[in-house]
């Protein structure tokens, strides 16, 4: 029995088939990427147009560029600082509450596990399966009957309850890496609970505190549904996305709304960059093991 060898391969190995769909898949990926980026690019371009050019139909793509929208946003009649302060207050306070409340829960599920701790974790996870819109109606009725509409503290409680389940899951995964024997040995040597937390537990939670805080802040700053529902037309809890909506819907100032949107997107990108840096460091840490 004779074997016919491939002339291009002296070892007789079968050459790999050429991926014929490679160029087309690359082209499709580029088209999809452009479709996703196009609205953002159009918002950026509109932010540099005057209101007269931004509102034309068809759009004036090659209209003169100006900083009128940005000057109006930062120094115009409608100050952006109250909604910015609302966004910062809601994000900072609710994120701190989430971090403080998730630690004892995660500690009880990892270091000193309670009975049926898996059922507790799945209960936390099941709360994230409920759409946010489904929970806003009863919350709105409660706020309406108790006079808490347009109250920043109601919004803080809502954000805390929304981010707490996933925070418990994340913190438990970090605490599970802490050797329990090390904690018990430190306690037997006379270390106080605060010293154990500060010197043994906290180093394992440092990256979680960064990641959880940044992700929670991104969700809160960009959230629109809860603010739109719980403001009831007021401005006490209006954040930046809601203020942009008010500018676009009532004033029809396209250039100003686009400039405000660019500012919000830039801030989100900056925060997300720090979050991604933490994620990549975690990936490197896991890959090194």
Examine the pLDDT at 7 and tell me if it is beyond 50: no
CATH, residue 270: 1.10.3720.10
Q: Is residue 16 part of a domain?
A: no
Q: Looking at the structure, do residues 119 and 239 belong to the same domain, yes or no?
A: yes
Q: Looking at the structure, do residues 228 and 160 belong to the same domain, yes or no?
A: yes
State the average pLDDT for the chain.
Answer: 77
Q: Looking at the structure, do residues 277 and 160 belong to the same domain, yes or no?
A: yes
Q: Looking at the structure, do residues 87 and 227 belong to the same domain, yes or no?
A: yes
**Which pLDDT does position 166 carry in this prediction?**
82
Range of the domain at 27: 23-66
- DSSP result, 98-145: HHHHHHHHHHHHHTSPPTTHHHHHHHHHHHTTS-HHHHHHHHHHHHHH
Q: Is residue 284 part of a domain?
A: yes
Q: Is residue 254 part of a domain?
A: yes
Dihedral, CA of residue 49, residue 53, residue 58 and residue 60, to nearest 10 = -50
**What tens digit of pLDDT does each residue of 156-194 get?**
888 888 888 888 888 887 787 778 888 888 888 888 888
Residue with more model confidence, 123 or 234: 123
Number of C-beta neighbours around residue 124 at 10 A: 19
Domain tally for the chain?
2
Q: Measured in Å, how far apart are the chain's first and last C-alpha atoms?
A: 50
* DSSP run (H or E) holding 158: helix 152-175
287 pLDDT band (50/70/90 cuts)?
Answer: low
75 pLDDT band (50/70/90 cuts)?
Answer: confident
21 pLDDT band (50/70/90 cuts)?
Answer: low
* DSSP run (H or E) holding 64: none
End-of-domain residue from the set 36, 66, 96: 66
């Amino acid at each position: 029995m004779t074997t016919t060898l491939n002339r291009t391969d002296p070892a007789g190995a079968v050459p790999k088939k050429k991926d014929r769909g490679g160029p087309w898949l690359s082209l499709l990926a580029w088209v999809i990427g452009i479709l996703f980026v196009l609205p953002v690019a159009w918002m950026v371009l509109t932010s540099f147009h005057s209101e007269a050019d931004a509102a034309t139909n068809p759009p004036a793509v090659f209209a003169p560029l100006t900083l009128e929208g940005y000057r109006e946003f930062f120094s115009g009649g409608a100050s952006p600082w109250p909604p910015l302060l609302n966004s910062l207050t809601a994000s900072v306070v609710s994120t701190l509450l989430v971090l403080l409340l998730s630690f004892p829960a995660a500690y009880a599920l990892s270091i000193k596990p309670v009975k049926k701790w898996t059922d507790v974790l799945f209960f936390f996870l099941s709360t994230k399966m409920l759409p946010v819109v489904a929970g806003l109606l009863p919350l709105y009725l409660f706020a309406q009957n108790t006079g808490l509409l347009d109250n920043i503290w109601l919004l803080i409680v809502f954000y805390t309850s929304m981010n707490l389940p996933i925070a418990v899951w994340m913190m438990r995964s970090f605490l599970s890496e802490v050797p329990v024997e090390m904690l018990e040995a430190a306690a037997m040597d006379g270390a106080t609970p605060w010293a154990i937390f500060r010197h043994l537990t906290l180093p394992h939670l440092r990256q979680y505190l960064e990641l959880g805080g940044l992700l929670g802040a991104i969700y809160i700053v960009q959230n629109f549904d809860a603010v739109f529902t719980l403001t009831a037309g007021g401005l006490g809890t209006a954040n930046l996305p809601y203020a942009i909506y008010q500018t676009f819907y009532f004033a029809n100032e396209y250039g100003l709304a686009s400039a405000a949107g660019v500012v919000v997107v830039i801030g989100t990108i900056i925060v997300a960059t720090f979050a991604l840096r933490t994620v990549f460091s975690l990936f490197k840490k896991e890959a090194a093991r």
